[in-house]
Amino acid sequence: MKIQVLGTGSSGNCYKVKIGRATLLLECGLPFKVIQKKLNFKVSEIDACLVTHEHMDHAKAVKDLMKAGIDCYMTKGTAEALGVSGHRLKTFRPFEKARYYSEVLKDLIILPFEAVHDVAEPVSYFIKTRDDKESLVFVTDTAYLKYKIPDCECLMIECNYVKSRLDENVRLGNINTNLRNRIVKNHLSLESLVEALKLADLSRCKKIYLLHLSDGNSDEKLIKRTIQEMTGIEVVVC
Ligand SMILES: [Zn+2]
Ligand SMILES: [Zn+2]
């Protein structure tokens, strides 16, 4: 598996992942021109793009990617919010509210699962090869984990803020309570990440990528040390 970070955080999220026989883009929250450049103008190498939700820092280039002939996967709610349609749009078939059938792409099985974010129909992704040799979990923009993190070889997960940092910023008047509440209701804190990791089976996990850190409310060193010491797994802060 090979992961390349094209962008992370509120200025735009986009990750290129080679897994199994496929090359995916996870999110496309950068201008299309920037994505093209970062991919050395080889956009056609991408088999598909998976989008978690409609916020522009995750979906900015979706229309351009479709025009360029890339299949884009998302929930129906996300597609409607983005106003996209056409044969390059692939939506996940729900079998009940916020529960979906998986999709097959080359040798991959792609399973979306519900995220907790104030948008139409947000999801996270569990992606694995059919032979179970490679697996990846991608979680971002969620207040907490509704489900146990699936066993995987590589975990890419949001760590947006540190609660004490956020509270300190409120106390100092750097951010107001409204904004604080919005962050807490929509994003994953270091503290919630720790709780989620306690419940997960990480015996197969070789690497953890931490994503979408907030500039003012996080602490890169503390985050990295906390997760590395807790899990004993190599941690990369993006
Ligand atoms: Zn968002
Ligand atoms: Zn975001």
The whole-angstrom separation of Cα 187 and Cα 87 is 32
Please compute the mean of the pLDDT values over residues 41-49 and round it to a whole number. Answer: 97
The CA–CA distances, whole Å, from 181 to 89, 140, 166, 177 equal: 34, 18, 10, 6
Q: Which ligand lies nearest to the CA atom of residue 120 in the structure?
A: 1
* pLDDT, tens digit (0-9, with 9 covering 90-100), for 84-109: 999 999 999 999 999 999 999 999 99
Give 160 Cα–ligand 1 centroid separation in angstroms: 11
List of residues 6+ apart from 130 with CB closer than 8 A: 20, 104, 107, 108, 109
* pLDDT, tens digit (0-9, with 9 covering 90-100), for 142-188: 999 999 999 999 999 999 999 999 999 999 999 999 999 999 999 99
Task: Give φ, ψ of 217 to 5 degrees.
Answer: -110, 10
Give 107 Cα–ligand 1 centroid separation in angstroms: 29
pTM of the entire predicted model: 0.98
pLDDT reported for residue 215:
87
Tokens of 34: 């920037």
pLDDT reported for residue 187:
98
Q: Which ligand lies nearest to the CA atom of residue 14 in the structure?
A: 2
pLDDT reported for residue 228:
98
pLDDT reported for residue 114:
98
Q: Which ligand lies nearest to the CA atom of residue 211 in the structure?
A: 2
How many Å is the maximal CA-CA distance in the chain?
53
Torsion of CA 144, 147, 149, 152, to 10 degrees: -140
Neighbours of ion ligand 1 (CB under 5 A): 55, 141
* pLDDT, tens digit (0-9, with 9 covering 90-100), for 185-219: 999 999 999 999 999 999 999 999 999 999 899 99
* pLDDT, tens digit (0-9, with 9 covering 90-100), for 47-64: 999 999 999 999 999 999
pLDDT reported for residue 10:
85
Give 132 Cα–ligand 1 centroid separation in angstroms: 30
Give 53 Cα–ligand 1 centroid separation in angstroms: 7
Q: Which ligand lies nearest to the CA atom of residue 57 in the structure?
A: 2
- Secondary structure (H, E, C), the chain: CEEEEEECCCCCCEEEEEECCEEEEECCCCCHHHHHHHCCCCHHHCCEEECCCCCHHHHCCHHHHHHCCCEEEECHHHHHHHCCCCCCEEECCEEECCEECCEEECCEEEEEEECCCCCCCCEEEEEEECCCCCEEEEECCCCCCCCCCCCCCEEEEECCECHHHHHHHHHCCCCCHHHHHHHHHHCCEHHHHHHHHHHCCCCCCCEEEEECCCCCCCCHHHHHHHHHHHHCCEEEEC
